[in-house]
Amino acid sequence: MKKKISKFMIVFLTLIAILFFLFPIYLAVASSFKTPLELAESVLKLPSTLYFDNYVEGMERSNFFRSMLNSCIVTFPSVVLIVFCSSMGGYTIARNGKRKKMIGMMDKIYLISLMIPFQILMIPIYRIFRALKMQNSLLAVIIVLTGTSVAYATFLYVGFVKSIPVELEEAALIDGCGPYRTFVSIVFPMLKPITATVAALHVMWLWNDFNISLILLQKDEVRTLTVKQYYFFGEFSSNYGMAFAASIVCMIPVIIFFIFMQRYIVEGIAAGAVKS
């Protein structure tokens, strides 16, 4: 009897959690198809008809394809740099962290940096890039996104590299491989699961970044999709239908990407959590 009750409670709480997470998505999708009058009458009701003008006008007002290109320019080079820097950093820390104090200290510095709230960095980032005359530059956003993401990615790589036998690298050394060739030819191909995880997680996070883009990108032609959605809300009026429509369209590429990469995300995080 007790087992049945416990199973029922688990199922019940799971369903509550699912509804809790799906409710905002329902509101966004339903509101994106409503006329302004229907939105004013009720937020929870289903739309009487599918009002596609929100999507058409939202994409026009947000200059959707230009903003999407800006998001791609910011996201994918940042992910490549994160993988490049974090894989080498994680490998170095995993193999030399105990023997060399400075490298071991870097591991601790990375972990400490994960606890720093981004709000503390906002004003220094703005002032630094204004002094460098790099405001309204997508390169500036790439630099900041990479810098703020390397620590966590390195943490994942460190755990995964520790699970790789050192004997493989010793065999490569005997065969005449130097440290760089050993990493590129032997170690990095074995990091495929965690590399897929790091890439998948950071594509989703960086695509949805709002704060850094808002701080550094003030010109309309360089704004990303997430920043464009912010301007549907004015001081005296807000167009929720268009805002929800634009956000739904913005979500579609990330959802498709996540569907294909979710297996790697779970496998890589589980493997990266193993520490010797």
CA dist 18 and 166 (Å) reads 43
Name the residue among 205, 203, 113 with its Cα closest to residue 155: 113
For residue 270, the tally of other CB atoms under 10 A from its CB is 12
What is the residue-averaged pLDDT of the chain?
85
> What is the per-residue pLDDT for 276?
46
| 235 pLDDT higher than 60 | no
Parse the chain into domains and list their residue ranges: 69-224+248-272
- DSSP-derived secondary structure for 183-221: IIIIIHHHTHHHHHHHHHHHHHHHHT--HHHHHH--SGG
What's the pLDDT band for 149 if we cut at 50, 70, 90? very high
CATH topology for the 69-224+248-272 domain = MetI-like fold (1.10.3720)
pTM above 0.85, yes or no: no
CA dist 257 and 203 (Å) reads 9
Q: How far is residue 5 CA from its own chain's centroid?
A: 39
| 273 pLDDT higher than 60 | no
What does the pLDDT average to over 44-55?
A: 84
| 201 pLDDT higher than 70 | yes
| 248 pLDDT higher than 60 | yes
Contacts 24+ apart (CB under 8 A), 134-140: 134/216, 135/216, 135/217, 135/218, 136/216, 136/217, 136/218, 136/219, 136/222, 137/216, 137/222, 138/70, 138/73, 138/74, 138/217, 138/222, 140/216
Q: What are phi and psi of 245, to 5 degrees?
A: -65, -45
| 264 pLDDT higher than 80 | no
> What is the per-residue pLDDT for 270?
62
- Number of H helices and E strands in the chain, helices first, is 14, 0
The residue with greater pLDDT, 25 or 275, is 25
What does the pLDDT average to over 50-69?
A: 86
